[in-house]
Amino acid sequence: MFIFRKNHPLIKIINFSLIDLICPPNLNIHWNYGSLLSLILIIQIFTGFLLALRFPSSSLLSFDTLINICQDRNYGWLLRLLHSTGASFFFLFIYLHIGRGIYYGCFDKKEVWNLGVLIYLLLIGTAFLGYVLPWGQISYWAATVITNLITAIPLIGNLIVQWVWGGFAVGNPTITRFFALHYLLPFIVRFLVILHLYFLHLTGSSNPLGISSKIYKVSFHPYYSIKDIFYYVLFLFLFFIVTLIYGYNLIDSENFIPANALVTPIHIQPEWYFLFAYAILRSIPNKIGGVIALLLSVILLFMFPITSHPYTPVFHWLPWFRFIFWSFVSCFLLLTWLGRCPAEIPYINVSIVITILYFILIIILIFINKITILKI
């Protein structure tokens, strides 16, 4: 049995993260998304590590090995479904987490917000790399289409694509590199999550009212630790129901067909959590313009802290702000739906209109604090 002294580093970390952490007393359910994301990240790293023990990262063996894991290994099917369903839940709570930050004006904590956006960007890359590894039809052609976007870079785009591929087409070197990066990136994400929490604990959590009260505070434990445990149990119950009953519904049926470079699927589309960006990419006829719009749809999130300061008031209780925010959410959902639709009229025309509205509304949300401060 190990007996830790009071000044032991592990005890200090526990005290810093749980016992001694002072929180506002009015946090609601929207402040539980971060802790749920930490739980999902642990599930993803654990299941991914077990799957990686048998994954060959070979274009000749990957598809057959995955079938072998699911059909011939004890609970291999469960590990695969937990990992794939966990990715969907991961991005669901990420979007809820970001939406809560925009709605309640939590981006005034610049280090916390910027680290969170950086984590989101790394998770996008990690999810894309993992989507390629099953080496089904959609995996192969998604890798081909997305990596070809690099050719939009003037002069050196084609050279970079060939370096990424490890040849003149997506093949065995590509999947080997993607597997190595997919294995490595989650540990980098975990490190950034620790930094994210560290800066959050230094500055203190925001709250729905947006006020900074130094008088009335409560400790994280036991008030919010018990609340987190309750939502952990509730989430795991829902997570296993979706995994065991609807797990295969979240996987494209084309991905159960081995990759074939000679047969192009009728409709190539990413997972649901990337469909909004895919719709933005398709809505712009120019290749360079589409790539720039795709990058801006995410990178603009870094702009929110630039136009805010610690004394910016919250606007979520004002009707006009709610109209703008929920219009932005509606555009996001519409783009997600349009990303699943065929690339034909009228869907392309509607995508152009919704894309323009998406960027107009996010720019308004970015500069709304600056405009209001100037008026004051």
Classify residue 369 as exposed, middle or buried by CB count within 10 Å of its CB (0-12, 13-18, 19+): buried
Residues 139, 271, 297, 308: which is the catalytic one?
271
Annotated catalytic residue within 57, 228, 252, 297: 228
Catalytic residue among 17, 30, 111, 201: 201
Would you state the structure tokens that stand for residue 252, as one six-digit string?
A: 């494209």
Question: Per the omega criterion (within 30 degrees of 0), is the bond before 134 cis?
Answer: no
Active site residue 375: no
Which residue is catalytic, options 227, 287, 316, 370? 227
Q: Which of 62, 205, 206, 297 is catalytic?
A: 205
- Are 63 and 259 a contacting pair, CB within 8 Å? yes
Of 66, 190, 51, nearest to 123 (Cα)? 190
Residue 134: which residues within 8 A CB-CB, separation 6 or more?
62, 63, 66, 255
Alpha-carbon span 227 to 298, nearest angstrom: 31
The Cα-based distances of 114 to 37, 110, 151, 188, 328 in angstroms read 17, 6, 28, 15, 21
- Clarify whether 110 is annotated catalytic: no
Instruction: State the Cα–Cα distance between residues 33 and 193, nearest whole angstrom.
Output: 13
Partnered with residue 218 across adjacent β-strands are 23
201 among known catalytic residues:
yes
Return the structure tokens found at 245: 């009953």
Alpha carbon 374 to its chain's center: 34
Q: Active-site positions?
A: 201, 205, 227-228, 271
